[in-house]
A = this chain, B = another copy of it.
Amino acid sequence: MTAPPHEAHPAGPGRALPDTQQGMRRRNLARVMHTVSAEGPLSRAAVASRIGLTRAAVSTLVDELIRTGLLEELGPERPGRVGRPGSALAVSARGPAGLGAEVGVDHLAACAVDLRGQVRARAVRYGTHRGRSPEPVIEQLAALVRRVVAEAEGEGLWPAGLAVAVPGLVARDARTVVRAPNLDWHDADLSALLPADIPLTVDNEANFGALAELWLGEGTPRDFLHVSAEIGIGAAVVVDGLLLRGTRGFAGELGHVPVWPDGPACPCGGRGCLEQYAGEKAVLRAAGLEPGEDRVGLLAQRAEAGDEEVRRALRAAGTALGIALTGAVNLLDPEAVVLGGALAGLAPWLLPSLRDELARRTAGPACPVSVSELGPEGPLLGAAHAVVRAVLDDPAAVAERG
């Protein structure tokens, strides 16, 4: 995995790539894996009818996937079905696993997810990383990852790749954290600091949060804008089920969309950016609170208790979000906006003014805004599932390595 998976890079007929028997086999292996993953357990005949290939062709593909440990046979199907009983196929619960890891501002986490999507190992470590240099933080993360790997290996799994979510801008090399203002990291190359024997992908936490929403959320559409916040405000644009990354990999910088262009100066160089009104620091200031531990919890608790100053601050943040999202919705025409991360916990007080603003600035019906049910787990799960998806998308590559 040298490039980030799930990019908007369709291989259309305009590309002069050879379309060979070998390429067809690879794609058909992926179709079998995806079909069994989404609908299994299934017999070979059921797989064949679903993907439109002959039973014989499917059997050859399935045999290869069983041999390389990606599929397993559950034994003969229970009687009572029509025809000769076939053996039901399922995605293997052993074999390759996706490793996810997260660098939060106040915590580190790692987990292993098997091909069936089950979390099989997990480790978390709390403590702030503000102003710490990348090396010791990443060393601690590497220790968590090793712990998770050891635990997963004990269950017959092996790591197919590691994906790391970070709260910052990541270059398209999927290794370099170009800028993570809340950690004060600049141009930090993570590849030297994590296990060298496992293929590595680094990405922005909003991107992995959006992918988690897409893959694991209930009824998430394939075109949506995922807005997430920890300390800054990030967003991820998903178009037809693929992340829009941008030329440098920096797409989704909602926090620096100008809201009131003559407003307060922002460290980004601009004025009146969304973060100046709806970022954590701005909201705490407007609510008359001091930055400290569990700031979102504190805001939610005060708002719940009826603190009018806090409620007013959150209403104002919702209004600013509504203005920035009006621009985003006009540009992108998504099917929905989903609020995740810290925003999800504050949604009861942000949403009314946000929705009002969006509705009164929109000619037709306003774009629906919903709240993520994955909450702060999203980016970590999205990272691990990105690795799992990469295996399903090209099982032949894993078989070659495995």
Contacts and interface: CB of A to CB of B under 8 A. Distances in A.
B256 A330 contact: yes
Contact of A327 (B237, B269, B327, B394): B327
Interface string A3-19: 00000111111101111
Given A261-B259, A333-B246, A34 B8 contact: no
Contacts of A361: 256, 258, 268-271
A98 interface: no
Contacts of A252: 331, 333
Given A239-B8, A261-B259, A268-B363, A251 B19 contact: no
Interface stretch (A46-54, A194-202, A375-383): A46-54
Contacts of A235: 331
Contacts of A246: 223, 332-334
A213 interface: no
Nearest to A26: B13
A269 B333 contact: no
A401 interface: no
B34 A24 contact: no
Contacts of A245: 333
A331 B12 contact: no
Interface string A365-384: 00000000000000000000
Interface string A28-56: 10110011000000000000001111000
A32 to B, nearest CB: 9
Interface string A171-204: 0000000010000000000000000000000000
A18 B331 contact: no
Interface in A252-308: 252-254, 256-262, 268-271
A43 to B, nearest CB: 16
Nearest to A246: B333
Can you list the 3 inter-chain pairs with the closest CB atoms, starting with the nearest? Answer: A246-B333, A10-B10, A18-B52
